Structures are given as C-alpha cells and as structure tokens.
Amino acid sequence: MDSLEPEAVNTHVSAEQILRDVYKKGQKARGSTNIDILDLEELREYQRRKRTEYEGYLKRNRLDMGQWIRYAKFEIEQRDMRRARSIFERALLVDNSFIPLWVRYVDAELKAKCVNHARNLLNRAISTLPRVDKLWYKYIIVEESLNNIDIVRSLYTKWCSLEPGVNAWNSFVDFEVRQKEWARVRDIYSKYVMVHPQVKTWLNWAKFESRHGNAGFTRNVYCLALDTVANLQSLQIWSDVEIAKLVNSFAHWEATQEEYERSSALYRLAIEKWPSSQSLKDGMLNFEKQFGNLNSIEETISYKRKMDYEASLSRDAYDYDTWWLYLDLNSESFPTQLLQCFEKAVKIGQPKELSKTFHWKRYVYLWIRYICYVELELEDVALVDRLFQRLLDDIIPHQHFTFSKIWIMYAKFLIRQENVSKARKIMGKAIGLCPKAKTFKSYILLEMKLKEFDRVRKIYEKFIEFQPFNLSIWIEYAELEENLGDEDRVRGVYTIALDENSEFLTMEAKVELLQKYITFETESQEYEKARTLYRSYLELNEFSVQSWIEFAMYQSSTPTDQQLSDLAKLQSENVDEDIEFEITDENKMEARKIFEEAILFFKNSGDRQGRMSILEALKDYEETYGTELDKENVSKRFPKIVKKTKLEDGIEEEFVDYVFPDDIDDDKPKPSKFLELAKKWKQEQAL
C-alpha cells in the first residue's frame, strides 16, 4: 500500500475530463428491444406500460416537447387518433410557441385524412403565431393541394395584411400568376411596393407587366418606380447601384420597344438627377455602344460574347449552362460554325466519372440537341444514325448506367425511316443489355401500334421477370388480354399473380389485384366465379368488416345462375327491348346469408365491435330493401351497452361491454318436456 501512495497522489482528474467521459457515455446508443406481442391482452399491457412510462417522464420534465411528440407518435402508431390529439393538445397548453409541435400535429391529421381537423388546427396556429411564416405556408399548401383557390387567396390576403417579409408577397404573386389572374397580381404589386419599396420589387413588377401586360402598363410601372425613388431620395433607401439598375432596366426595355430617343432622354434626366452615379454613366455608355450603329455593334458584341464563352469553357468544361448559351449564340450569329461547335461540345464536355451524376444528364442533353439539329436542320439521316450508334456504343457506359431516353429516341428515329426490324433490334438490345421500366413500356407501345400482340405478350413476360413485384405490370398485362378478348389468358395472368405460394407481390398488392379480377369476372357475367373470388378476398383482407359488407352487397346486386338464364331467355323473347336486372327476394336472401355468416364469424372470434358493425350494415340494408318486420327483427338484435368493472394489477377499472340478445337466448336453459306437458295440462284444467 505504501508503494502505491505516490502514484495516487500524483493522479489529477480535471473537471473537463469528467465532463468528456460523461458525454462519451451518453453517446453510446442503447440497443432496441424487440417485443413480440402475441394476443390482444399483451398488446393492451404493452400500451399501458408505454403510456405509464411517457406520463411518468412528462411529470418530471413537462417542458421536453420532443417527448410530447414521441408520445403522440406512439399513439398514432397504435392507431388511437383520439389519444394522440389529446396529447398534442396537452403539449400545446405547455408551450404553444414550439413550431415543430404544430407541424407534427397537422401532419398527423393529414396522414389520418382528417382534413377538416387539420384546417381547424392550422387556423388556430396562424392565429396563435401569426408571425411564423412556416405555419402560413403549411396552411396554404394544404388548401392549394385541395384546389381550394378562394381559401388560398383569402389566406394570402390575411397574411399580407400583417406586412410579412418579401417571401410571402412573392408567393402570393406566384400563386395569382399560376391562376392567370393578372388584375389581381397588379393589385398585389401595388400593395407590395408600399410595404417593401426595394428596387428589386419594382423590377419584378415591370418584368411581370412586360410578360403579361402591354407596353403602357410596363411604362407606367417604370415611371412610378422612378418617381418614387426621386421623391424619397432624402430617405436614402436606395443605393446608387440600385438606382442605376432600375434606370438601365427601363432604358433597355424602351430599346426593345424601339424607343431609342426615350432611352437616351431617360439616361440624360437620370444623370442630371444623380450626377455622382458612375454606374449610370457606364450604363449610358454601354447603351450608346449597343444602339449607336446597330449592325456593326451587334456583330462585335456577339463575337466578344463568343470569346468570353470559350474562355469560360476552357476553364470549366463541365459548365453545361455556358455550353448551352454558347450553342444558342452560334445558332443565332454564326450558323455555319454550329456543327463544329456541337462536335467540340460533346468531345470536351464528356464527364470522366462512372456514375449517373447531374453532369452526365446535362451532357446527354447536349447530345440530344446535337442529334435534333442534324435531323431537323441539316436533314442528314446517315449522320443522325452514326451519332446514335456512337453515343450508344462509345459514350454511355452501359455496364454502370444507361439512358433509356436515348434508346427510345433511336428506335423512334428508325421507325420514321421505316426501318422497323432495326428498331426492334435496338429495343431488344436495350432490355437485354440494361433493362429499365421505361424501355419496356416504350417497346410495348411500339409493338401495340404495329398490332403485333404476340410480341407484346413476350415483352410483358420479360417485363414481369424483370420486375415481378410491380403491380401495375400485372394489371396492364391483364387489361391487354381483356381488350383482346382472350378471357382464358386474363384468368391465367390473375391466377399466376395471386398464387398463394408466390411471394413477389405484397398482401396489399394482391388485394388490389383480386379486386380487379372480381371486376373482370363481373363484367364477363361470371358471377359464380366472382363469388368464389370474394371468398379469397375475405381471406386476404383477414375477414375485415368492410370486406364482409362488400361481399353481401355484391350478392344482392348480381343475379344468380338461374336468374341469369331467365334474363337471357326474356331477352331472346323481347329482342327490341332492354331488360334490366332487378333485385329479387332471392338476391336479398343471399345477401342476408352473408350478413349472418359474418355475424357468426365475429361472434365465434369474440370480436364484439366487428359484430356490431355488421349489425349496423345489416340495419342499413334492411332500411333499403327489407320489410317493417325485417327492420324490427334487426333492431331487436342490437346489443345493450353495459358498464362493467375488472381488476387489473390490483386496480379496479370500469369498461363498456356489449350484451347481445342472441347471446342471452343461447345461454337460457331450455325447459324440460315434462314441465312443458305439466304447464299445458294446467292450462287445460283452467278452461
């Protein structure tokens, strides 16, 4: 022990080291625990335990809004929206200024398709926090997605009445532009420039008028802007650069209207008003250069621009925006050099990396422009074919990625040249070398236009092999066979896709596909086959209430085999008359059988809520098709609501239970035959 004392004395632990150790320990991720829930009781126990944990934590730290959100998320995952709303509301009472809480609450209501709840909530949010732009944007996006144009307009009007930032005004303008309400846009801009009188605002207004107005409107905006700048000069709101920018824009716009004298006068007046602005002087000089001797100056400017572009591209060959402008310039001013410029662009601008990046996409669009120019302007078919082959064989690295658009364009080009066989080879090579869904669809469309339906079938088979999990492919294939009138093939497609041993389609996809199958059999008047499919539909839907109701209504609305033969016989006897199917007592009886089967199913499974829902559906059915006696009999079968208590973990809890009259009748002991005979003898003696 004596030998260890010096070492212990020399050991110093700083506060910084202690905090660092604590932080590192806090960063260690805790492994999640997987919980297997086997029955409803375990689920209730799990929910109760989690709620107790959340409530306990929130009692200790009620200001932790993240915990409130997680609590509400848990209830949403349990599909208990009522509890989730309660939690969100409690959290808002704690801190209604926490923006993510409002957003999560709204998103939860929208996800649950409770649009009116979300709308009311957003209305509360913008009333509580009117200066938070995110809530306004959220409200507007929701209403615009629902195409409630008037509501969106009223929201923007209310928001802008609070004089928000420029983003809100710009959004309002963009919205009215999308609606093509030019008069409303002008009204917005007239208020916008009063709240935010920046030069940029005036220029945006002028730009709008130049696009959607006329010369008079545009000139008035520019004049009003300059008058405002001149009158409020003493406030020094605008810098000399901004003023020069406004004047330059006005002058150049007048030049586009061929009002060169107005432009010159505008520059002279502006320089007299702001004589110290060098930017205005430079702008006037450039203007005179541009419009002094039109032909020679334009040529000089174009050549200078070309040199500038080439210098810029020599520094950055992947600046495809500049390449595009460079090609535009050559197309307008140097058309004879355009072919060489295209060749230069595709040689120098080819990216080096082997991944489908943004650069590659922009580069391929350069090729597309090159090919379109050669075909449409030069009309050189042979060169177009060589360019396509060069692009597909030497440029695009298909082992890493491809561009289906190029394959499709090449095939369409060959079709235009009436070379169908080569077009097929190109599409076959595309789906063999680098298959993509877009390529398959284009190939199918091509063969359908050529009426080669056997080829279409083979392509669909390859498409399904490529993406067997894609539900739309199966549906499109079945619809193709249905349109061709081959019912056996349609049933074959559906049967293969719905095979219980297949795992490539999800349960939801199979349910949707089965609905399509039922619709097909119904339209084919194969009602018994459709009823058989409904049994599978019930099983796939796990015997849900809605599926039982759909089955029952289907039984009611479709004829039996006997009724179908009777209708056919009547139709043959009355050829000129259209005989429609009417719901008979037999159909009603079949529907009631399904309802009774569903009630028995939920009774045996102990699902009281499901049983109650089926009774309500049966009641609605009898309201439409039943007699008074039928309605009365159904009403008698509805359960009584009884409050009961149960003991859980030493705590007595009250819950609501349903007591069905059918269950009571089943539980009653049946009287013996001896007692029945004695009762009958006593009645006879009394007489």
Q: Clarify whether residues 238 and 276 are in a common domain.
A: yes
Residue 108's nearest CA partner among 97, 92, 93 is 92
Q: Clarify whether residues 325 and 392 are in a common domain.
A: yes
Domain boundary among 346, 370, 398: 398
Q: What angle do CA 544, 83, 642 make, to 5 degrees?
A: 65
Contact call for residues 447 and 455 (beta carbons, < 8 A):
yes
Question: In this predicted structure, what is the pLDDT of residue 388?
Answer: 92
Domain boundary among 292, 314, 330: 292
Question: In this predicted structure, what is the pLDDT of residue 26?
Answer: 53
pTM of the model: 0.49
- With respect to residue 130, please indicate whether it lies within any of the assigned structural domains: no
Domain boundary among 398, 432, 451: 398
Q: Clarify whether residues 335 and 390 are in a common domain.
A: yes
Mean pLDDT estimate for the chain:
81
- With respect to residue 219, please indicate whether it lies within any of the assigned structural domains: yes
322 DSSP assignment = H
Model confidence pLDDT, tens digit, residues 510-549 = 888 888 888 888 888 788 888 888 888 888 888 888 888 8
Q: Clarify whether residues 359 and 268 are in a common domain.
A: no
Q: Clarify whether residues 306 and 267 are in a common domain.
A: no
- With respect to residue 285, please indicate whether it lies within any of the assigned structural domains: yes
Q: Clarify whether residues 380 and 309 are in a common domain.
A: yes
Confidence bin at 24 (pLDDT 50/70/90): low
φ, ψ dihedrals at 643, nearest 5°: -90, 130
- With respect to residue 122, please indicate whether it lies within any of the assigned structural domains: no
Q: Clarify whether residues 214 and 234 are in a common domain.
A: yes
Residue carrying the six token digits 């009287």: 671
Q: Clarify whether residues 277 and 217 are in a common domain.
A: yes
Q: Clarify whether residues 320 and 361 are in a common domain.
A: yes
- Please count the CA atoms within 13 angstroms of the CA of 505 that sit on its side-chain side: 26
- With respect to residue 385, please indicate whether it lies within any of the assigned structural domains: yes
- With respect to residue 462, please indicate whether it lies within any of the assigned structural domains: yes
- With respect to residue 483, please indicate whether it lies within any of the assigned structural domains: no
Question: In this predicted structure, what is the pLDDT of residue 382?
Answer: 93
pLDDT at 6 over 50: no
For residue 102, give Cα distances in angstroms to 65, 72, 191, 682.
11, 12, 30, 76
Domain of residue 351, residue span: 294-398
Q: Clarify whether residues 330 and 251 are in a common domain.
A: no
Average pLDDT, integer, range 478-499: 86
- With respect to residue 301, please indicate whether it lies within any of the assigned structural domains: yes
Model confidence pLDDT, tens digit, residues 73-92 = 888 888 888 888 888 888 88
Q: Clarify whether residues 285 and 300 are in a common domain.
A: no
Local structure of 646: helix, strand or coil: strand
Question: In this predicted structure, what is the pLDDT of residue 4?
Answer: 41
Confidence bin at 567 (pLDDT 50/70/90): low
Local structure of 655: helix, strand or coil: strand
Model confidence pLDDT, tens digit, residues 252-302 = 788 788 777 787 778 777 777 776 676 776 676 677 667 664 553 555 456
Residue carrying the six token digits 């495809």: 320
- What's the gap between Cα 346 and its chain centre? 37
Q: Clarify whether residues 383 and 417 are in a common domain.
A: no
Domains identified in the chain, total number:
4
pLDDT at 366 over 90: yes
> Which CATH number is 411's domain given?
1.25.40
Question: In this predicted structure, what is the pLDDT of residue 7?
Answer: 39
Residue scoring higher pLDDT (669 or 491): 491
Residues 6 or more apart whose CB falls under 8 angstroms from that of 496 comprise 502
